[in-house]
Structure 1
């Protein structure tokens, strides 16, 4: 059971996210129906450690084993999606993998079919796309900090 719940005021979501960078490209994904991008990850199950959840999500979605290196950002994100208010807590980790077979200049789909579209985007070209939460765009272009940061997005 995922750590997500709905109320009359909105949705609370606990999410883990992987920041996978190769040669100054970062892996992003988007739902096929959307025009905005985000970093890949997913929901954490109740009683599941965040790092374990992130490894599971990459295996389920892309069939790849990642190493969770370190926490980059904890993000409190308040937004609307599909006419619903969301309060999301996200833990964003730097990840890597020995298998670089997914690295490509072309969009591709993962194991879950055509619902999600993945693409490696050059970090210096992130201003040309819509990336949510927007603060991530700025953090990636600044370069990864040596210590975790707490970010609040309204």
Structure 2
């Protein structure tokens, strides 16, 4: 995975799935975290970002997604504890098969991230302002009727 220490920062190259069903979006929370985020993970060396999105969804939820267009390029700067992070995220639209159990909007779904529990849930896109979603720009970006391509610089404190 492309993740390393440099100049006192942890750098990550992350690929992200934006999965929308009607007026809902799929978010997940890693065991021990207090905030929700979009599913995805770090890109592996030699792997393109769209392939990383598909791989991460297979690993975390055992779901084969079709990866669509690039929605956002996000330069994300945040700190966890005393550790500063510099992350570049490539956010892609993605679709799950129509018969996938994950499409049950009222259920909580469980996944796995290297032995840690992931909880997946659907949230109404226009109600994200009341939820702790990271990076914070997602509250407004996901509420848009049409998701438009953008380059985003986000600075969050976790």
Q: Decide: shared fold, TM above 0.5.
A: yes
**Aligned Cα RMSD in Å?**
1.5
Partner of residue 100, structure 2: 100
Which ranges of 4 or more aligned residues in structure 1 deviate by more than 3 Å?
A: 111-114
1:151 aligns with 2:149: no
Which secondary structure state, in structure 2, belongs to the residue aligned with residue 144 of structure 1?
A: coil
* C-alpha distance in 1 between matches for 2:23 and 2:116: 26
Match runs of 1:115-130 below 5 Å: 115-130=117-132
Equivalent-residue separation in structure 2 for 1:136 and 1:18 (angstroms): 13
Aligned to 2:44: 45
User: When the two structures are aligned, how many residues end up with a matched partner?
Assistant: 152
Task: Tell me the TM-score normalized by structure 2.
Answer: 0.90
8 Å Cα contact 1:41/1:54 also seen in 2: yes
Q: Is the 8 A contact 1:17 1:41 kept in 2?
A: yes
Quick one: distance in 2 between partners of 1:145 and 1:63? 26
Stretch deviating more after TM superposition (111-120 or 36-45): 111-120
- Consecutive unaligned residues of structure 1, counting only runs of 5 or more, are none
In the TM superposition, 1:60-75 aligns within 5 A as 60-75=59-74
Whole-angstrom distance in 1 between the partners of 2:71 and 2:21: 16
